[in-house]
Structure 1
Amino acid sequence: MVNISEWDASEYLDDKESIIEYLNAAAQTDDPRLLQTALGDVAKARGMAQVAKDAGVGRESLYKSLSPSGNPSFGTIMKVVHSLGGRITIEPVAA
């Protein structure tokens, strides 16, 4: 019998470098839901209440925004990324 457990990315995001790499990898997929999920994983790893406080948003609002059914504003995304020690940059697409 094979035991399969659910993998939780937030258990492995324990330093700023791995967090930024994880978020960049998610952003490079061009899938907004994947980036939203990655932000949720990182917020969980860092502590949702602390991330919400650092981002200047309500904890409940952040949970809702980063949930699979959430629809965060771009402003919220920017605040969360900044609170996690990152910033959003624009690069040209490779031809």
Structure 2
Amino acid sequence: MTTQTRDYDVARHLRNEEEMAAYLEACLAECEGDPSLVAKALGDIARARGMSDIARETGLGRESLYKALSIEGNPQLGTVLKVIQALGLKWSIRPSYANRLTTSGAESTSQQSDSSPVVNSTD
């Protein structure tokens, strides 16, 4: 007996800005420095919102957005910022204390926080 499978499309399951922000935050936390995963996550979210709408709001071409926001894509920072804004999201950056050393050379434990990035939906 063979098992049938279907491709999973996360864009079908991103129903609101909070879910989109949580998905992007999880991808940023797990990307391990791989920008293609972040581009793909932005593409998934843009498809969930409607790529034509995002293209219109950013002033960028729909086909160029599909290409840039794919696993093979390498979008420019300006493109990423325009897409983030059009998606109704905003960046929130905080310091990472994971590798911070004190003046004595010992690792600081007084200001421990997780180093995961934070992406919030707009107010």
Same fold, TM exceeding 0.5?
yes
Q: Do residues 38 (structure 1) and 37 (structure 2) align?
A: no
The Cα offsets for residues 49-82 of structure 1, whole Å up to 9 and x where unpaired, read as 1011112211122112112222110010011011
The gaps in structure 1 that reach 5 residues or longer are: none
Q: Do residues 49 (structure 1) and 31 (structure 2) align?
A: no
Deviation at 1:23, TM superposition (A): 0.9
Give, as a single letter, the amino acid of the residue that structure 1 aligns with 2:20. Answer: I
Give, as a single letter, the amino acid of the residue that structure 2 aligns with 1:15. Answer: N
Give, as a single letter, the amino acid of the residue that structure 1 aligns with 2:18. Answer: E
TM-score (ref. length: structure 2): 0.71
Q: CA RMSD in A?
A: 1.3
The gaps in structure 2 that reach 5 residues or longer are: 99-123
TM-score (ref. length: structure 1): 0.90
Partner Cα separation in structure 2 for residue 28 and residue 91 of structure 1: 13
3-state SS in 1 of match to 2:90: coil
Partner Cα separation in structure 2 for residue 65 and residue 50 of structure 1: 16
The Cα offsets for residues 23-67 of structure 1, whole Å up to 9 and x where unpaired, read as 111112243111111111111111111011112211122112112
Does the aligned pair in 1 maintain the 2:36–2:74 contact within 8 Å? no
Partner Cα separation in structure 2 for residue 87 and residue 36 of structure 1: 15
**Residue 23 (structure 1) aligns with:** 24
**Residue 3 (structure 1) aligns with:** 4
From the CA coordinates, give the structure whose radius of gyration is larger.
Answer: 2
% identical equivalent positions: 43
Give, as a single letter, the amino acid of the residue that structure 2 aligns with 1:50. Answer: D
**Residue 81 (structure 1) aligns with:** 84
Partner Cα separation in structure 2 for residue 34 and residue 68 of structure 1: 6
